[in-house]
Structure 1
Amino acid sequence: MTSEKKTVRAAAIQVEARVADIPWNIEHASRLVDEAVAQGAEIVALPEFFTTCIIYDERVFASSLPPENPALDMLKEKARRHRIHVGGSYLEMRNGDVYNTYVLVEPDGTVHRHDKDLPTMVENAFYVGGRDNGLMQTSLGPVGAAVCWETVRTQTVKRLRGQVALLMTGSHWWSEPGWKWFRNYWRGLHEGNGRLMARTPGTFAALVGAPLLHAGHASVIEGRMLVLPGTRLTLPMRTQLMGETQVIDGQGNLLARRRYQEGAGVAVADIALGAAAPRAEMPDAFWIPRLGPMLSFQWHHQNAAGKAAYRWAKRTGRLKVWEGMRNAQSADERL
């Protein structure tokens, strides 16, 4: 990598996606990519799970896509038409398992993939972890992909630190479950969670040493929460997705921001591509921030409950490609 850095206009997109409504979500994302391009963006980041929000809802078991799919087609079309780099993640089924796959598409149609390493909590019900390092060799230079809680783990920093010209990140970051009892406690948890989400992109960029695009969700979603691992016992929940769509420079400084209260839209700023000297010291721990006892408990409890649900869904045939995808493939075969 040369010391000379190219300045480009970049955009991170905040969506208000819906649970299991893949056609609507793709069209919603498409319109927002066009909005970013209209503001001059040459690099555009969509969030994690831009094709469906994730909550325990059995419709999500049938919301994965094959490697060639309408979401990827949309990204390819935008990349080629507007001569941009554009990326985001969705559930992708390959060889009988589902992955949280971040794809980055170049203007010439080249596709790079990264599978999130560890599902977060209830996400374990819908996909398994990947094994690649998230390092993509592109025409922009080396790009690092990291999805949601990958950005709060030191193992991600170790894979990418000092090696990338740009970080493409996105999240689908829950808040508290919306229960009416102990409201003051949940309000405090919501506020603390918001502070953690707000500082994560800048902290991660400073640790890795690269400019960063972080795309987020701003929807309020309703569904269920798994209660007891190995069972389908659930409680109803309603949660706010925490947004914090940000553009960050290579030193970890905030350049543009969109909070969840602002809804869907774009955050746009000029960034200088290229690796920077990491500004922050990496903690000698698994997590970058200190997680409180409730988040730590939820991590272990919901991981176990989600993994059991994934095994059940796979065993019973519920884990499958989106019905609309299969219908389209059947129509093609009839032609």
Structure 2
Amino acid sequence: MNPRISDLPADPAAVPTLRAAALQMVSTPRVDENLRTATGLIDEAVAQGAELLALPEYFAIMGMRDDDKVRLREVDGHGPIQDFLAAKAREHGVWLIGGSLPLWTEHPDKVLNSSLVYNPRGQRAARYDKIHLFGFRQGTEHYDERATIEAGRQPVSFSIPFGRVGLSICYDLRFPELYRAFGVTELLVIPAAFTETTGRAHWEILLRARAIENQCYVLAVAQGGRHENGRETHGNSMLIDPWGNILDRKLKGPGIVIADLERARLAEVRTSLPALGHRVM
């Protein structure tokens, strides 16, 4: 896999701080209801000064059945969920990352699970299609995303005034080679719907590892609670600094994780322990 943006040094002219927010949800099978919830969280985070906001995986639809999202899939560039994201980014003048939503693919029974990024003018700035598809079986609990999702193929990162941002979704978190493919980034954004079983065991450990090994901030935004379809998601949305410290977190239920990202902190960590410069592979 080749990254879309090559490994470039940090821009010394970049803005020194960025206030970022993760908007944790417990999404339902009803798109309109989920968009109303997202609106309230976006408005609240903006009121607290957020400049970059991220929603969780499946923020717009957590169906009663896995194939419910296939019925609601949108053509790339058109649809009520995409229109919502563009309008909210433009309304507030913020960077808005729509955790994931179902996009059309040629396979009639599948979707692309896609994270879309909108700039402060409401223009689409990036799209990432989830590469690694979750499979899990333990007792009566089982998941197989391959049944309804077509895998993406390309790592995606994009630039904002603060620096470079790498995109991934949920199960991608377990594959560190994806994050290395971005090169040097200032922020990784990881929307997710981790199950309670796997999240309780591995979520925080993996997130802090990605922050430490890439010496960057990690904004992890999760579904967090009991859904109408019976699924329980782990929650624990958090913002982690380049040393692995958790700056803010939300355990369960809808809510906001918010904190300031500082380029001085990135420089401090990367100068004192120049691991990124020591890489040989």
* TM-score normalised by the chain length of structure 1: 0.68
* Number of residue pairs matched by the alignment: 248
Distance 1:113 1:252, change over 3 A: same
Residues 18 and 219 of structure 1 are in contact (CA less than 8 Å); yes or no, is this contact kept in structure 2? no
Distance 2:64 2:129 in 1: 19
1:2 aligns with 2:11: yes
Matches within 5 A, 1:170-189: 170-175=191-196
Note closer, same or farther for the CA distance 1:207–1:248 as it changes in structure 2 (3 Å cut): same
Are the equivalent residues in 2 in contact too, given 1:206–1:279 (CA < 8 A)?
A: no
Give 1:80's match in structure 2, choosing from 87, 90, 97: 90
AA in 2 matched with 1:70:
P
Aligned CA RMSD, in angstroms, stands at 2.4
Distance 1:206 1:243, change over 3 A: same
- Taking the aligned partners of 1:52 and 1:141, their CA distance within structure 2 comes to 31
Does residue 90 in structure 1 map to residue 101 in structure 2?
Answer: yes
2:234 counterpart of 1:242: yes
Give the structure 2 partner of residue 18 of structure 1.
28
Which residue of 40, 46, 63 maps to 1:31? 40
Q: Deviations over 1:256-309 (max 9, x none)?
A: 00002xx1010111112568648889xxxxxxxxxxxxxxxxxxxxxxxxxxxx
Question: What does residue 7 of structure 2 align with?
Answer: none
Q: Quick check: which has more Rg, 1 or 2?
A: 1
Q: Distance in 2 between matches of 1:258 and 1:58?
A: 29
Name the structure 1 match of 2:186.
Answer: 165
Q: CA-to-partner distance for each residue in 1:172-208, whole Å, 9 max, x for gaps?
A: 0113xxxxxxxxxxxxxx4x74141123222211122
The SS at the match of 2:20 is: strand
**Aligned equivalent of 1:213:** 219
Q: Which has the higher helix share?
A: 1
* Percent identity for Structure 1 against Structure 2: 27
- Superposition pairs of residues 1-335 of structure 1, within 5 angstroms: 1-3=10-12, 6-19=16-29, 21-53=30-62, 56-67=65-76, 68-87=78-97, 88-96=99-107, 98-111=111-124, 112-121=126-135, 122-161=144-183, 163-175=184-196, 190=197, 193-221=199-227, 223=229, 238-260=230-252, 263-273=253-263, 277=270
SS at match of 2:205: helix
Q: Secondary structure at the match of 2:116?
A: strand
Between 240-249 and 96-105, report the one with greater CA deviation: 96-105
- TM-score, normalising length: structure 2: 0.80
Q: Which ranges in structure 1 are unaligned for 5 or more consecutive residues? A: 176-189, 224-237, 282-335
Local SS of the residue matching 2:227: strand
